[in-house]
Chains A and B, each alone.
Chain A
Amino acid sequence: EIVMTQSPATLSVSPGERATLSCRASESVSTNVAWYQQKPGQAPRLLISAASTRATGIPARFSGSASGTDFTLTISSLQSEDFAVYSCQQYNHWPPTFGQGTKVEIK
């Protein structure tokens, strides 16, 4: 199965700063990658699909990009509500697989 490797495990960022999260696939997954946000005790929330398409209602400060097997989620200016765990997922190959998550914490 495809392994999705996220880095870093934890990212310390000050409010208003940019956050860049990475996800690498063990082999090509085309652009079939989604990103989710999860806050403690809450369900995951879809942010991005097809590597760069924002889901309905997701603010423009969230953006996704792809380069080969490397995928990036960028939060342009962190707001207080953005501190959470972010996970990537590939859905190009069966079974769908997730990364281990990146925790974005307040610096």
Chain B
Amino acid sequence: EVHLLESGGDLAQPRGSLRVSCEASGFTFGSYAMAWVRQAPGKGLEWVSAVSGGGGHTAYADSVKGRFTISRDNSKNTLYLQMNSLRVEDTAVYYCARLTIPYAVADFFDSWGQGTLVTVSS
């Protein structure tokens, strides 16, 4: 059974940094592209970033480009999102999600973690 477990969500200051992680199990991690999708309080889902199975290809939403960095360690079955220059509008539950193919292209998400809450506030 696919299992995705996020961690690292916390309260951060505007212009601060935070790293969230997602530990995967139940499947061959490196064979799948992975993504971060967020949901602000009371709002819809927003795709944030994706990384290919091998980690060599990444993509970002315009709203986070230049501030967030996605990465993965396939030896540890773990996905990361480094968030710098945080803004109040980055406040959201961050979900990690599995794409159905190894490539970080537009795709749907067949498995999701429970999410980790990031709050940006002074």
Contacts and interface: CB of A to CB of B under 8 A. Distances in A.
Given A43-B115, A94-B59, A89 B45 contact: yes
B108 A34 contact: yes
Nearest to A87: B45
Contacts of B115: 43
B113 A96 contact: no
Contacts of B46: 98
Question: How would you classify the secondary structure of chain A's contact residues: helix, strand, loop or mixed?
Answer: loop
B113 A43 contact: yes
Interface string A65-79: 000000000000000
B93 to A, nearest CB: 9
A98 to B, nearest CB: 4
Given A91-B106, A94-B106, A43 B112 contact: yes
Interface of B: 43-47, 59, 61, 95, 97, 100, 105-115
Interface of A: 32, 34, 36, 42-46, 49, 55, 87, 89, 91-101
